[in-house]
Structure 1
Amino acid sequence: MKSQGIPSTKSKETPAAKVWIGAGVISAVAASLCCISLLLAIMAGASGVVTAFSWLEPLRPYLIGLTALTLAFAWYQKLKPVNKKDCDCNTNTKPNFMQSKNFLSIVTVFVAVMLAFPSYAHVFYPQAQGQQVAANKANVQTVEIKIKGMTCAGCEGHVNSEVNKLAGILKVKTSYANGNTLVQFDKSKTDVKQIEKAVLATGYKVTEVNKQ
């Protein structure tokens, strides 16, 4: 006589779902790693190393696509109907938190926050204000510095912060899309060399300096 088997209390959570959830988190973090490393480097006082992950920036669209694909598959695995014939689970047993929809929801929100990080990263950087000086108009000068290595809005905030530390800075406008920064300053208080030095201190490369 065959003994009655005791129903398993293990939820049938496929290993593939867990792997894809992990892959989604990793790819999301990698997609924003340049800006994340920038913030960590500034906090650690080692801003010169921020370009170490700039090579990842061209891969960002692919990493975002991989993230969307992995999470979509994870949700499919979680929401698809389970064939009762193939299920060895006890329907009265509540799955643990790591296997729940709530956990997957939290992971999804975390991934979304990571993917959007470059768009709001600048708010975490020191917001040094330009020196509001009453300069003689004859001393006001503008310089355009071409910069290589900026990859997101956070990089703009980094350059602005460093340049604004100098005395006599009236206005700074940095664009990672254009790869430059426009600096208006009082030449009686600072000079182009000092501004260029401040940009180089961020870890980016100055490719050209144009006085206006």
Structure 2
Amino acid sequence: MILVLKTLNYIIMKLRFLLIPVLVFAFACQNAPKETAEETEVVVEEITQTMANAQKIELNIDGMTCTGCENAIQKTINEFEGVYTSKADHLKGIAVVELDSTKVDILKVKEAINELGYEAKEYSILTE
């Protein structure tokens, strides 16, 4: 009888240590926000629209002589809302910009580069 009680007590002690984490996990998961199919559809639509508006543009720029020039131009370009990436190359005299064509006016980008003391010339839209 004593052996049965000790065994039963041992089992209860073990279950108590297992039961607490299980209960915590069960109740914590109930409070997690649930994303509806409608919200997911909206996000997918926004991503699709953004990808449709994406353009890759190559700007010819005179006056770059070093990596400091590249960094200054990239910093200026990246300040525009709707610019995804920019990479300037002083050896080639170009900057390649990936942007949302509905949010960024490339003429304003050229103007900002010119205000730095460089000469942003013609640009071309790259297709891949």
TM-score of the superposition, structure 1-length normalised?
0.36
Q: Which has the higher contact order (CA 8 A, sep 6+)?
A: 2
Q: Which amino acid aligns with 2:77?
A: V
Number of residue equivalences:
80
Q: Does 1:141 align with 2:52?
A: no
Which whole-Å CA distance do the structure 1 matches of 2:50 and 2:95 have between them?
A: 23
Between Structure 1 and Structure 2, which shows a larger proportion of strand residues?
A: 2
Mapped pair 1:155 → 2:69: yes
Q: Counterpart in 2 of 1:192?
A: 106
Once the two structures are superposed, residues 59-102 of structure 1 have per-residue CA deviations (whole angstroms, 9 ceiling, x without a partner) of xxxxxxxxxxxxxxxxxxxxxxxxxxxxxxxxxxxxxxxxxxxx
Structure-1 residue corresponding to 2:95: 181
Gaps spanning 5+ residues in structure 2: where? 1-45
The residue type equivalent to 2:95 in the other structure is: T
The alpha-carbon deviation at position 191 of structure 1 amounts to 2.1
The aligned counterpart of 1:79 is none
Superimposed CA distance per residue, residues 33-64 of structure 1 (whole angstroms, 9 cap, x where no aligned partner): xxxxxxxxxxxxxxxxxxxxxxxxxxxxxxxx
Match of 1:164 among 78, 86, 94: 78
Distance 1:169 1:177 in 2: 23
Code of the residue aligned with 2:54 in structure 1: it is V
The C-alpha deviation readout for 1:138-177, integer Å capped at 9, x for no partner, is 1001111101101000000000011111100001010001
Q: Does 1:207 align with 2:121?
A: yes
Secondary structure at the counterpart of residue 76 of structure 2: helix
Residues 1-212 of structure 1 mapped to structure 2, 5 A cutoff: 136-212=50-126
Whole-angstrom CA distance in 1 between matches of 2:65 and 2:111: 20
CA contact (8 A) 2:85 2:98 kept: yes
Q: Offset of 1:187 from its aligned partner?
A: 1.1
5+ unaligned residues in a row in structure 1: which ranges? 1-132
Q: Displacement of 1:208 after TM fit?
A: 2.0
**How big is the alpha-carbon RMSD for the aligned residues of Structure 1 and Structure 2?**
1.7
Contact 2:76–2:112 at 8 Å: present in 1 too? yes
Pair member with larger Rg? 2
* Identical amino acids, percent of aligned pairs: 30
Deviation of 1:199 after TM superposition, in Å, equals: 1.6
